Amino acid sequence: MSLQCFSPMQIWSNHQHQRGQLQLRVLRSVIFMQFSNYRFQFLSLFLMISLISGCGSHIYHFVEPGETLYSISWAYGHDYRQVAQWNEISPPYVVKRGQRLRVAPPQTTTSSAEKPNGNRELAVSKGADKESKSIADKQDVVKSSSPGEFAGSATLEWQWPTKGGKVVQTFNERDPGKQGVDVAGKFGQPIYSAASGRVVYSGGGLSRYGKLIIVKHNETFLSAYAHNKRILVKEGETLKAGQFIAEMGNTGTNTTKLHFEIRRDGKPVNPLRYLPKKMQ
C-alpha cells in the first residue's frame, strides 16, 4: 500500500478550501434564518392586522349557555334595550342557547326575511317553555313599597359596594379596561349591592370580569361587580341597597379586588360621581 504525501502548500490550500466551504455554509444558514425571520415577522404582522381589523366588527353573536340579553349587551357596550330592539325581542327579554343576535346597529332598513332573528326567533323568544317563562315573569315582578326600592324610579341612593377597601384604579373613559373603579381588599371580603335592584346576570361567562354580577336598578342604570370569589345571589333575585351579594376574590385577574362599574343607558360612567365621597 502506497502512502500519498502532500506538501505543506497543498495541505494549507486544502485547509483554506474546507474553511471557505464551511464559511459559505454558515453564510447560507444565516441568510436562510434571516429570510425565515422576516417571513415570520411579515406573517405575524399580517395576522395582527387581520385580527385588529376584525375587532369591533362583530355584527352577530350566538347565545352561549348562561348568557342573558343583559350580559351580551354589556359585553358589546350597548344598551340592552337597543339590542332587544335590533332583534325584535320583547320583555322579559328571554334569549335561547344558539340564538343569533345582532349586536351592531343595522345600517339600513331590512325586510323581515333579512332581519337577524326574523319572526321565527321572535316566536321562539315569546314561546319559551312554561318553566322559563314563569321564572322570567317572576323576575319582572317588582315590589314598589318605597321610592328607594327598585321600581324604575329616576333617583337612586348609591352606596359603596364594599367597606374598608382602597381604590387602586379610577375611571378612564378611553381605556376599555378602566370603565369603572377597582377597590382592593381582603380575599372573601363582603360585596354589597350599591343600590336596590334586580339581578339580571350572575355567572362567569365574561372571562375578563371573572365571576360577575350585573344588577338592573331602573330603566336607566345598571351596575356590575366583578372578580368575585363566590356569588351569593341568583338571576331574577330582587335586592335591597346594601345587601350582601358576593365575596371579594381574584377570578379573571391576578389580584384580589372588586371591579365596580355603573352604566347609564348602556354607556359606562364614572362611579365616583355617584358614590359617597368617603368609603366606610
Whether residues 268 and 179 fall in one domain:
yes
Whether residues 187 and 263 fall in one domain:
yes
Kindly state whether residue 74 falls inside one of the protein's structural domains.
yes
Domain end point (choices 140, 157, 188): 140
Whether residues 134 and 181 fall in one domain:
no
The model's confidence at residue 28, banded by pLDDT at 50, 70 and 90, is confident
Whether residues 110 and 176 fall in one domain:
no
pLDDT, mean of residues 107-129: 45
Whether residues 136 and 170 fall in one domain:
no
Whether residues 174 and 269 fall in one domain:
yes
Kindly state whether residue 187 falls inside one of the protein's structural domains.
yes
Question: What is the length of the chain?
Answer: 280
Query: Is pLDDT above 50 for 140?
Result: no
User: Mean pLDDT for the chain?
Assistant: 77
The model's confidence at residue 173, banded by pLDDT at 50, 70 and 90, is confident
Angstrom CA distances, 244 to 227, 232, 272, stand at 15, 8, 21
Burial 218-238, CB ≥16 within 10 A → b, else e: beebbbbbbbbbebebebbbb
Query: Is pLDDT above 70 for 85?
Result: yes
- Residue in 245, 198, 241 with CA at minimum distance from that of residue 226: 245
Kindly state whether residue 116 falls inside one of the protein's structural domains.
yes
Domain end point (choices 70, 105, 140): 140
Query: Is pLDDT above 90 for 271?
Result: yes
Query: Is pLDDT above 90 for 31?
Result: no
Count of domains forming the chain: 2
Confidence (pLDDT) at 25? 74
More confident residue, 33 or 271: 271
CATH for 264: 2.70.70.10
CATH for 89: 3.10.350.10
Backbone angles phi, psi at 265, to 5 degrees: 55, 40
Q: Tens digits of per-residue pLDDT, 186-211?
A: 999 999 999 999 999 999 988 899 99
**Helices (H) then strands (E): counts for the chain:** 5, 13
Kindly state whether residue 151 falls inside one of the protein's structural domains.
no
Query: Is pLDDT above 90 for 56?
Result: no
Whether residues 105 and 182 fall in one domain:
no
Kindly state whether residue 118 falls inside one of the protein's structural domains.
yes
Whether residues 260 and 183 fall in one domain:
yes
Under 8 Å CB-to-CB from 234, ≥6 apart: which residues? Answer: 199, 202
Confidence (pLDDT) at 16? 60
Kindly state whether residue 265 falls inside one of the protein's structural domains.
yes
Q: What is the pTM of this model?
A: 0.63
Domain that holds residue 74: 60-140
Confidence (pLDDT) at 108? 62
Kindly state whether residue 221 falls inside one of the protein's structural domains.
yes
Whether residues 184 and 265 fall in one domain:
yes
pLDDT, mean of residues 129-152: 37
Domain end point (choices 104, 122, 140): 140
Whether residues 249 and 172 fall in one domain:
yes
pLDDT, mean of residues 12-38: 65
